[in-house]
Amino acid sequence: MSFNTLTPMKDAQDYLMWKDALKFVKVAENLRDKALLRLLVATGRRVSEILNLKVSDIDFKKKNITWLILKKKKPHRATIPVDEVTLLILTQYIEKYKIMRDDYLFKGYKTDKPLTKRRVHQIVRYYAEKYEILAQNGKYPHPHTFRHTFASYLAEKSQNIQDIHILKQYLQHSNIDMTLYYIQVSSKQYRALLERGVLDVE
């Protein structure tokens, strides 16, 4: 399969330049927003998966996060490596706000329930409007724009088709370009991509 044969998404321009995605993290006005935006930028996870995170899902020693994947026909949990910069920001956030191990990572105001998707959308829109950060389609980004950005950026940095398969598994996609196969890859292979230091390249 050639990279040139990959069929573009319907919303193919709904992504940010990588430097613009990183800007969200840099301009965050508090640690909660910084941690939330960093997870959106650097993990490519769906907002529902981030909001379902509890502190206990993060293994700081093994540098992994265990995600609840809801998009599939059968929900399941997937343990996936995470980069050190993200872990550092999460550590600072958890320590500052004294978030307990069994708590949701991002709780709503005066509640033990997680933030709503609507609130995350408002947070993203606030920074996008304040700093005039637009996606490539000329529109303000929304939370899912970061997933498209992550996938586009790592696909661009991929060196061969196997890297694309690694990215596919990481994102928990069911296929590539409407193909019928689904290749299992290990956390070690994805970590090799992380160790190239691609996430923080501007």
**pLDDT one-digit tens code per residue, 117-173:** 999 999 999 999 999 999 988 999 999 999 888 877 776 665 565 665 666 665 655
The secondary structure element, H or E, covering residue 113 is none
Question: Is pLDDT at 6 greater than 50 in this prediction?
Answer: no
Cβ neighbours, 10 Å, residue 142:
16
Query: Average pLDDT for residues 47-53, to the nearest whole number?
Result: 96
pLDDT of residue 173: 52
The verdict on whether 182 is a catalytic residue reads yes
The verdict on whether 173 is a catalytic residue reads yes
172 phi-psi bin (left φ>0, alpha ψ -120 to 50, beta other): left
Q: How many helices (H) and strands (E) does the chain have?
A: 8, 3
Which one of the listed residues 32, 34, 38, 147 is annotated catalytic?
A: 147
**156-169 tens-digit pLDDT:** 665 565 665 666 66
Q: Could you state, in order of their start, the residue ranges of all structural domains in the chain?
A: 3-194
Which one of the listed residues 23, 46, 148, 168 is annotated catalytic?
A: 46
Which one of the listed residues 72, 101, 182, 196 is annotated catalytic?
A: 182
Residues 6+ apart with CB under 8 A from 40: 24, 47, 50, 124, 143, 146, 147
- In words, the CATH class of domain 3-194 is mainly alpha
The verdict on whether 76 is a catalytic residue reads no
**92-114 tens-digit pLDDT:** 999 999 999 999 999 998 899 99
Mean pLDDT of the chain: 81
Top-confidence residue, 202 or 78: 78
Q: Which residues are paired to 104 by β-bridges?
A: 54
The verdict on whether 144 is a catalytic residue reads yes
**23-46 tens-digit pLDDT:** 999 999 999 999 999 999 999 899
Which one of the listed residues 19, 26, 62, 71 is annotated catalytic?
A: 71
Q: What is the pTM of this model?
A: 0.80
Structure confidence at residue 181 as a pLDDT band (50, 70, 90) = very low
Contact of 40 with 106, CB cutoff 8 Å: no
